[in-house]
């Protein structure tokens, strides 16, 4: 969800494979194709804020799935080994889809609600799909 807040600012170690930003990568597999961008963001929530965090994230994820073009996957997952720790797994057709989502007032509002509920800053990774091509 808030990968844009932390991962958009990260610079990839190597540039992604070239893909037209407006068209996005050609889908050759149900698992995406070369150039699809994945964001993996870990969030540790204050114990007393956990239910509020989940409620906000649930509502925003439902909104994302119905209002944002270019989002292939947008899920919040609970880490069973670490208390109060959640992992967002997000997949986008291209960088433009991430920027478009991050620029919306709905995204900014969700981020502003969630950030105070975190026990520490989110940790994000940006990945670029290589296989399947």
Per-residue pLDDT of the chain (133 residues; tens, 9 = 90+): 655 544 444 444 444 444 444 444 444 567 788 889 999 999 999 999 999 999 999 999 999 999 999 999 999 999 999 999 999 999 999 999 999 999 999 999 999 999 999 999 999 999 999 998 8
**pTM over the 0.95 mark:** no
CATH of domain 34-128: 3.30.70.100
Residue 60 DSSP SS3: helix
Structural contact between residues 19 and 36, judged by C-beta atoms closer than 8 angstroms: no
Q: How far apart are CA 97 and CA 85, in angstroms?
A: 26
**Beta-sheet strands, E only, within the chain:** 37-44, 71-78, 85-92, 123-128
**Residue 22 CB neighbours (<10 A):** 7
């Amino acid at each position: 969800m808030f990968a844009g807040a932390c991962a958009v600012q990260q610079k990839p170690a190597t540039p992604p494979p070239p893909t037209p930003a407006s068209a996005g990568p050609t889908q050759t597999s149900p698992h995406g194709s070369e150039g699809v961008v994945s964001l993996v963001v870990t969030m540790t929530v204050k114990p007393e804020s956990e239910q509020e965090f989940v409620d906000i994230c649930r509502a925003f994820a439902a909104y994302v799935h119905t209002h944002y073009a270019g989002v292939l996957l947008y899920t919040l997952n609970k880490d069973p080994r670490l208390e109060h720790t959640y992992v967002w797994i997000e997949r986008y057709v291209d960088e433009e889809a991430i920027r478009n989502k991050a620029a919306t007032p709905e995204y900014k509002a969700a981020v502003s609600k969630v950030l105070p509920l975190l026990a520490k800053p989110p940790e994000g990774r940006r990945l670029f799909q290589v296989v399947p091509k």
